[in-house]
Structure 1
Amino acid sequence: MKHIVLLTLPLFLAACGPSYGMKVPGSLVKKLPFEVRIELLEAENELALAVDKVDENNNEIDRARDNIRRARSRQEAAEDEVDRATDEVSREVAKLAIEESEARVEYLRAKQRLSVGLRDVSELARNCAFAKFELAKLTAARKAKVEGSEELDPKEFEEQVAECDAEVKEELADLSEDQKEEKTAREAWEAKKTALAKKTFDARASPYVENL
């Protein structure tokens, strides 16, 4: 049976200072019967997934940074190739390679901006999952009639969840422009990449074309 870590993950998040950090005292959670703790697994798993999502988005930002660095290097190499071209065909390929690399950089920058925004939303969503976990703990404590749980108002914990969820929706809506810019930049890059591939024997494995 999967082990329960009802204390370690919330303590980790508390150290991060979540915006929605109203908590159920640990002393109440410790008094929960084992069969009641089992009921908290779903909320706990959602919290763990939310923490993982933040890590994934941070990794995506790091990958975008590395890809931008590589794309700039490719752009510089393509610019050097124009000067070394000995015929018109080679010169045209080099120019197309410059256009493709420029479009790639613009796309990656747009993607990075979107990734940063999504990372911020995922951090907020993580805090919402934390709030939902705390609400689940309070619900369980009151169900088990744990002494002291009656002093906590479930409505306050419910409002904390509702406010956090509403903020997530608002922040996601604010990312609509970044999503449009990322889509437009990606399509522009795909067009330049296709043109370059066609000029170099129309091969998907063209040495001039690198897929992300």
Structure 2
Amino acid sequence: MKHLLLLTLPLLAAGCGSSYGMKVPNSLVKKLPFEVRIELLEAENELALAVDKVDEANNEIDRARDNIRRAKDRQEAAEDEVDRATDEVSREVAKLAIEESEARVEYLRARQRLSVGLRDVSELARDCAFAKFELAKLTSARKAKVQGSEELDPKEYEEQVAECEAEVKSERAELAEEEKEEKAAREAWEAKKTALAKKTFDARASPYVENL
């Protein structure tokens, strides 16, 4: 059972500083019988997964930043090719490469904006998982009739979970516009990429076309 408690320690900070950080005193949790603590595993694992999703969201933002930097480099290289083009065909390919790289940058920026919004939602969802874990602790403590648990009102912990989940739903719905913009930007980029690929013999491995 020590493994369960040790696993929880790094996750306790998840609720700190949030509006949903109401906690059950550790002194009550320590009094829980072994068989009752086992019942907390599901809620604890849910919290661990929520924490991992925040990390994944942050990694996605970092990847988007790197991709934007690379796309800008490709755009500059394409612009240089226009000046170096010695015939009309080469010049047309270079211009298409510029259009493709510009569309790529716009798509990646839209994707990054969406990623930031999704990261914010995942952070809030993590706080909800924390609140659910605390509710599970209180439920277990009252079930085991741990002394002091009767002084805590389950309704307050239930309301904390309900309010948090409602906020997650609201914030997720507000991302609809960012999702629409990201989709439109991706379609615009895909069209430019297809046009460039066709001009370079429609080769999927064309040096002018790079997939993300």
TM-score, normalised by the number of residues in structure 2: 0.97
Partner of 1:12: 13
* 3-state SS, counterpart of residue 134 of structure 1: helix
* Shift of residue 17, structure 1, vs aligned partner: 1.7
2:103 maps to which residue? 103
Indicate the percent of aligned positions where both proteins have the same amino acid: 87
Give the aligned residue type for 2:30.
K
The code of the aligned residue for 1:56 comes to: E
Query: Hey, what does 1:184 align to over in structure 2?
Result: 184
Distance 1:83 1:2 in 2: 68
Root mean square deviation, CA, Å: 1.4
Instruction: Look up the match of 1:155.
Output: 155
- CA distance 1:105–1:66, change in 2 (3 Å): same
Structure 1 residue runs of 4 or more that deviate by more than 4 Å after TM superposition = none
1:85-96 aligned within 5 A: 85-96=85-96
SS at match of 1:76: helix
User: Matched residues in 1 for 2:200 and 2:92: separation?
Assistant: 10
Distance 1:10 1:195 in 2: 49
SS of equivalent residue, structure 1 residue 106: helix
Task: Please give the alpha-carbon distance, in whole angstroms, between the structure 2 residues aligned to 1:204 and 1:29.
Answer: 59
Deviation at 1:10, TM superposition (A): 4.0
Distance 1:159 1:63, change over 3 A: same
State the Cα deviation string for residues 2-36 of structure 1 (Å, max 9, x = none): 9313640343324x422200100000000001111
On the 8 A contact 2:113/2:178 being kept in 1, the answer is yes
2-side partners of 1:22 and 1:118: how far apart? 24
Name the residue aligned to 1:128. 128
Aligned to 1:171: 171
Aligned counterparts of 2:74 and 2:147: Cα–Cα separation in 1? 66
1:93-121 deviations in whole A, cap 9, x for unaligned? 00000000000000000000000000000
Residue in 1 aligned with 2:113?
Answer: 113
